[in-house]
Structure 1
Amino acid sequence: MLKCNLSTLMGKERLTIAEVIRRTGLTRNAVTTLYDERAKRIDLNTIARLCELFECTVDDLFEYIPNAER
């Protein structure tokens, strides 16, 4: 499972969803599905824009959590 840390990064920077949308040019749907951790698929451009905004790596934005049943 992948955990998206967008809400954590936004909290640290005190950014709203509207501000992330304005600064990245991403759609509200793209940002809110990641924020709410409901995304099933993610465009690489979306990841790149968020990493650029937060000056972070993909590892900072997403965290891999192994499935306990494996």
Structure 2
Amino acid sequence: MIDVDYGHVRKKLADLMAEQNISINKLAFRAEMQRTQLKAYMKEDIQRVDLAVISRLCYALECDLNDLIEYIPPNPR
């Protein structure tokens, strides 16, 4: 099997929170989420993205999907 680099997805929640100067407690309240779940997204410590969570975050932060996640293409060889 050939090892193929497909690139990766960068989660930008922590950057967006800092930009908007919003605390994890305030975002947890607005998005009706647990702080532990938010911390996992902030640390990019997730394997699968939950679309319901992304929707809540976009709503609470008044942002677009592209503000939360970004596709980074593989490096050309």
- 1:33 and 1:69, CA in 2 relative to 1: closer, same or farther beyond 3 A? farther
Counterpart CA distance in 2 for 1:69 and 1:30 is 34
TM-score by length of 2: 0.80
Shift in Å at residue 69 of structure 1? 6.7
TM-score by length of 1: 0.87
Task: Indicate yes or no: 2:74 matched with 1:67.
Answer: yes
Alignment partner for residue 64 of structure 2, among 38, 57, 65? 57
Task: Indicate yes or no: 2:31 matched with 1:24.
Answer: yes
Shift in Å at residue 16 of structure 1? 1.2
Q: Which has the larger radius of gyration?
A: 2
Q: In structure 1, list runs of 5 or more residues that go unmatched.
A: none
Q: In structure 2, list runs of 5 or more residues that go unmatched.
A: 1-7
Alignment partner for residue 15 of structure 1, among 19, 22, 34? 22
Find runs of 4+ consecutive structure 1 residues off by over 6 angstroms.
Answer: none
Letter in 2 for 1:61: L
Higher normalized helix content (fraction of residues):
1
Alignment partner for residue 48 of structure 1, among 35, 49, 55? 55
Count of residues in correspondence between the two structures = 70
Identity, % of aligned pairs? 33
